[in-house]
Structure 1
Amino acid sequence: MAQVSQTSHIGEHKENKNEVRNVTIILSVLTIVELILGYWMYVAGLQGFLQIFIKGVIIILMLAKAFYIVTYFMHLGHEIKNLIMTIVVPLALFIWFIIAFLYDGNSYKNLRNQYDRHHYEESNKTYNTPQNDEKAHGQSDKAVEKGKKPQEH
């Protein structure tokens, strides 16, 4: 009888080892795909819809990695449903709060710009900055008056 329980224990250990190896391979592949997409987006200088689409794909891959990490390495994949809900529901509420606060802050800013003209004028105020053909750092006013271009440093 002792022989049977030892054999089942060894088989269970090999199963767990294979499961951890498989999850590690999946996480590695997802990370490599994320890096390739990010590097491609950076090198190609993508703009517009394609850039937003790739960023969305990267976020989805990150969420998949988070799921695997929580499920296997935090051992929540084998837990009962109520314990999982005690973690997932507060996390979902936290994410919802962040989105709600960001939306509310943007709404406040827009309303303040609409009804408080002083705030609108201050937030859209432009300041005079030297242009390329104006006085450069360390150049005298006489050189600018004579029409000379500033010297490059």
Structure 2
Amino acid sequence: MEHQTFGGEVTYPHSAPTDDSKKRIWKTTILLSVITVIELGLGYLLYATDFGDTAVMMIKGIIIILSLAKAFYIVSIFMHLGDEIRNMIMTIVVPLALFIWFIVAFLWDGNSWKNLRNEYRPKDPVKYEQKAEPAHGGGAHEGGLK
């Protein structure tokens, strides 16, 4: 089954897998499986045991780094980005990096705003709340009748 393109070049839509492509598929499958098993093991470790705050943050950081490595490898292999020229890679990676930076910046700013709001807000809202003055209706108990 051949396809003729406008330039006269003949292309074949599907080629039979070679030994190199089979090795690449197995290598990819094994690598992604190992990274996934490590991530799950670290997640179960966090769930099953009680660590200090520093250890929990370190384990979560390792999980994030492993997830990013897995995402990079998936994009490189399955989206064939690893085979592209550098400018094409930068066209995709730079906006993605800016998007991640925006998320981090917005989370940082939101946390800062929350901390400042909690610092300057009164601790006891009932004590500092403006008390409503009772309405003076001019009833009998206030000397309205003479």
How far is the alpha carbon of 1:14 from its aligned partner? 1.6
With structure 1 as the length reference, what TM-score do the two structures score? Answer: 0.64
How far is the alpha carbon of 1:84 from its aligned partner? 0.5
1:81 aligns with 2:86: yes
Partner of 1:27: 32
Partner of 1:17: 22
Measured in 2, the distance between the counterparts of 1:48 and 1:110 equals 19
Measured in 1, the distance between the counterparts of 2:111 and 2:45 equals 32
Could you say if the C-alpha distance between residues 19 and 50 of structure 1 is closer, same or farther in structure 2, counting changes exceeding 3 Å? same
Higher relative contact order (CA 8 A, sep 6+): 1
Summarize the alignment of residues 21-100 of structure 1 with structure 2, pairs less than 5 Å apart: 21-100=26-105
Q: Which has the higher helix share?
A: 1
How far is the alpha carbon of 1:112 from its aligned partner? 4.3
Measured in 2, the distance between the counterparts of 1:89 and 1:56 equals 22
RMSD: 2.3
The percentage of counterpart residues that share the same residue type is 57
Measured in 2, the distance between the counterparts of 1:47 and 1:105 equals 25
How far is the alpha carbon of 1:114 from its aligned partner? 5.3
Spell out, residue by residue over 1:46-91, the C-alpha distance to the aligned partner (whole angstroms, 9 max, x if none).
Answer: 2222111111111111111111100101111101111110110000
Partner of 1:3: none
How far is the alpha carbon of 1:25 from its aligned partner? 0.3
Tell me the matched-pair count.
Answer: 112
Unaligned runs of 5+ in 2: 1-14, 127-146
- Matched AA of 2:122: E
